[in-house]
Structure 1
Amino acid sequence: MQKDAYTLILEAIDAGVYKPGSRLVESELAERLGVSRTPVREALQRLETQAMLTRDGRSLIVASLDHNQLAELYAVRTELEGLAARLAARHASDEELRVLRSMVEDDRSLLGGDPRALSRANKRFHKQIHLASHNRFLVQQLDLVHRSMALMASTSFAAEGRDEVAMGEHDAIVRALESHDGDAAYGATKTHISRAFETRLRVDAGELKVR
């Protein structure tokens, strides 16, 4: 199925093609995406309504998150991700658990590599847990949260040493899921998200080096 202009622009923001502060020009986007200007204009209006884009004079730019918005986003994400893990511990099929286990093992090959590749692997991992919760309304809310996370200028995986620690946290989450221990899965996930937020704050404060 062919993706529409809205999805393509959103994916480009998520992939870091357009970073916070990047100016989006209707004519340039239409040419780049190979579509007419009308669907691009409609997509930009929709993204502005969703606060993914903001006005800078007459121009539309990719929005950014200030400290308070970041804290608010992580507060919501921590609880929703924890709930998804708790439900996945109860509802995940054996096949879904095997997929999660293979992700943990395969992603170890990315350690020390490109932070963006690790970030993409991390998103796949969490998305799989969302789906394993078997709750469509929760998945929808988490999709909104993760869409807003594209407005962060960098990934916490760029921080020195974060990748190896995060992989260990993923392993702890999957072990709890494999044991069908909802409380442990909830706790391990909240710890994982909390540490990611702490890492991001330390990077922003200049306490941690980034690769």
Structure 2
Amino acid sequence: MKPPSTDAYSLILEAIDIGVFKPGDRLVESDLAERFGVSRTPIREALQRLETQSMLTRDGRSLIVASLDYNQLAELYVVRAELEGLAAALAARHATPEEVRVLRDMVEDDRALLGKPSDMARANRRFHKQIHLSSHNRFLVQQLDLVHRSMALLATTSLAAVGRDEDALKEHDAIVTAIEAHDGEAAAQALRDHISKAFVTRLKLDSGEVQSAV
């Protein structure tokens, strides 16, 4: 039985998210079918879906992974900061003790990943996703999924900047501390500050002002 097209879609999207395919990379239907071990039909359907979602764009007859220009990047971070802040505020209000424990454990466990930007980036995505889920608002989670899908179009993680991973972990700690205290306002502000600092770091990385650790 052939996997459904949604499986092919998820496989390609994950490959973009973890940097296997970067902005500007050309995606070839036959190559993808061979890589993922599926037929070309679900691959074709997945590529069409990703193009509709602006994850892929046309370069002549080829499909390439899209990229974000400066204005799109700024717009994305504005929306992300507000939606993530709301998620943190709702998590402070609605997260179960078990969900708060998971967030705290994530912060502690991620200390072992300092100095490993790729591993830290994956852990960072898990941390933010857990906050989204802890908001207990399905519509907000759906919107944040769209935002984070677009984040996959960034060629590098801000956590690649020298010293950024340690600062980010401290910021995560502050977010969780506010959620533990059920202080929605403080949690929202801590999350917005976290996103703002990540954006500043990304701009500095792109301009060459700060050094990458990779």
Q: Shorter-chain TM-score category?
A: over 0.9
Amino acid at match of 1:91: H
2:138 corresponding residue in structure 1: 136
- Where do 5+ consecutive residues of structure 2 fail to align? none
Amino acid at match of 1:139: V
Mapped to 1, the partners of 2:98 and 2:6 lie a distance apart of 29
- Specify whether residues 70 and 2 from structure 1 end up closer, same or farther in structure 2 by C-alpha distance, changes over 3 A only: closer
Q: How does 1:119-158 map to 2 (within 5 A)?
A: 119-158=121-160
Mapped to 2, the partners of 1:110 and 1:47 lie a distance apart of 31
Mapped to 2, the partners of 1:91 and 1:15 lie a distance apart of 30
1:33 corresponding residue in structure 2: 36
Amino acid at match of 1:86: A
Whether 1:75 aligns to 2:78 is yes
Amino acid at match of 2:120: L
SS in 2 for 1:164: helix
CA deviations 1:106-133 (Å, max 9, x no partner) are: 0011112x21110000000000000000
Whether 1:164 aligns to 2:154 is no
Aligned length: 210
SS in 2 for 1:43: helix
- Runs of 4+ off more than 3 Å: none
Contact 2:111–2:169 under 8 Å retained in 1: yes
Amino acid at match of 2:12: I
Mapped to 2, the partners of 1:100 and 1:149 lie a distance apart of 22
Q: TM-score, normalised by structure 2?
A: 0.96
1:24 corresponding residue in structure 2: 27
Amino acid at match of 1:148: S
TM superposition shift of 1:33: 1.1
Mapped to 1, the partners of 2:6 and 2:111 lie a distance apart of 31
Contact 2:76–2:147 under 8 Å retained in 1: yes
Mapped to 1, the partners of 2:167 and 2:7 lie a distance apart of 37
Q: TM-score, normalised by structure 1?
A: 0.98
CA deviations 1:2-45 (Å, max 9, x no partner) are: 96111110011111110001100001111111111111111000
Amino acid at match of 2:145: D
Mapped to 2, the partners of 1:27 and 1:195 lie a distance apart of 41
Amino acid at match of 2:43: V
* Paired-residue identity, %: 75
Amino acid at match of 1:194: S
SS in 1 for 2:58: strand
Mapped to 2, the partners of 1:201 and 1:163 lie a distance apart of 16
Aligned-residue RMSD, C-alpha? 1.2
- Where do 5+ consecutive residues of structure 1 fail to align? none
- Specify whether residues 2 and 60 from structure 1 end up closer, same or farther in structure 2 by C-alpha distance, changes over 3 A only: closer
Whether 1:66 aligns to 2:75 is no
2:15 corresponding residue in structure 1: 12
1:191 corresponding residue in structure 2: 193
